[in-house]
Amino acid sequence: MVKCGTQLGGEVLPDFLLELEGAVLLWIQEYLRGPVMDSFFMFYTTLGNMGLCWLALSVGMLCILKTRKAGLAGLLALLMGFLCTNVILKPLVCRVRPWLVVEGLTALVAEHDPYSFPSGHTCAAFAAALAWRPYLSKKWGNIALLCAVLMGFSRLYVGVHFTTDVLCGALVGLMSGGLAGRLVQTKRK
């Protein structure tokens, strides 16, 4: 078992930042949550469990000659993002989930991974979207990025991540996706 490094749940994180991030989550809970939105975001966020939707889309792209490189880049990006977030950063940082430290916050979905930093769902979404982007039309590339942003927001909406978890997950995903896209890319006209 890996020993945790710094605790970003309240011991090392400055109190004002923890309070600010908690306030954002409580604001979302108070002013944005409602039955229709809850149902949508609870469904949407589960699409990202274990990166399955991004994996499935990447595998599907592998089956079509025109999008084969996008699928390969997506799979490579997902692997790099997973290794960085779930294998290295989460066990190293050990930041607890927000509902454990933000009084009054209710999570809408169950999370079995006790650590929240960085967001693996957000990382996977951004990794795949950016890796696919050079190989897809501008329209589909933009839709993929919009879906990634929506995934990141869904993690805040359902109360399972802090804002910095999502932002860092997006950053790791963008780096993984950009690198994978370049590694797969060959000479283009």
User: What percentage of the chain carries pLDDT values higher than 70?
Assistant: 90
pLDDT confidence of residue 82? 97
- In this predicted model, what pLDDT tens digit does every residue of 85-127 receive, in sequence order? 999 999 999 999 999 889 999 999 998 888 999 999 999 999 9
Domain boundaries, the chain: 35-183
- In this predicted model, what pLDDT tens digit does every residue of 18-32 receive, in sequence order? 889 999 999 999 999
Residue 189 has pLDDT above 50, yes or no: no
pLDDT confidence of residue 1? 40
Mean pLDDT over 72-97 rounds to: 95
- Three-state SS sequence of the chain: CCCCCCCCCCCCCCHHHHHHHHHHHHHHHHHCCCHHHHHHHHHHHHHCHHHHHHHHHHHHHHCCHHHHHHHHHHHHHHHHHHHHHHHHHHHHHCCECHHHCCCCCCCCCCCCCCECCCCHHHHHHHHHHHHHHHHCCHHHHHHHHHHHHHHHHHHHHCCCCCHHHHHHHHHHHHHHHHHHHHHHCCCCC
pLDDT confidence of residue 165? 96
Whether the full predicted model's pTM is greater than 0.85, yes or no, is: yes
